Amino acid sequence: MIAYVTVGSDDIARAKRFYSAFLPALGYHLKEGPEGLSYALPRKPGQPVTLPDFYVKPPFDGRPAAAGNGGMTAFEAHTQKQVRGLHSAALADGGSDEGSPGFRASYGPRFYVAYLRDPQGNKIALFSCNPNEPGRDDD
């Protein structure tokens, strides 16, 4: 199980605008501190922590943040409509488009996805595989 994902940022305020455009709609709560941003899913009383957490921080080595080539973090949305709305919101708050919302031939027939980059260049996917919605091959 993945416990957390961390991406680097040289501009925490800009990253906050971008990630806060869609992560709260997926249930994540923001906690800010001098070390950066921490987005976590709520913990229910008596239940273990819901993972993974997502952190946005300046690099620990003090060098400029850089996006990893081939690295990507994917967040699951509830519906195709939510994928479209969150993709649009993230673009409006500093992201750049890496693939508009839709089905991809190389994935399963219900995998509806949009791709974007955060202001630092980290690749993000927003997807839905909702079995109650039309799939790629449905008429």
pTM metric for this prediction: 0.89
**Is the pLDDT reported for residue 115 higher than 80?**
yes
List the one residue out of 132, 120, 129 whose CA is nearest residue 58. Answer: 120
Closest among 2, 50, 1 to 26, alpha carbons compared: 50
Position 53 pLDDT exceeds 70? yes
**To which CATH superfamily is domain 4-59+72-128 assigned?**
2,3-Dihydroxybiphenyl 1,2-Dioxygenase, domain 1 (3.10.180.10)
Q: Mean pLDDT over all residues of the chain?
A: 94
Model confidence band, residue 114 (pLDDT cutoffs 50, 70, 90): very high
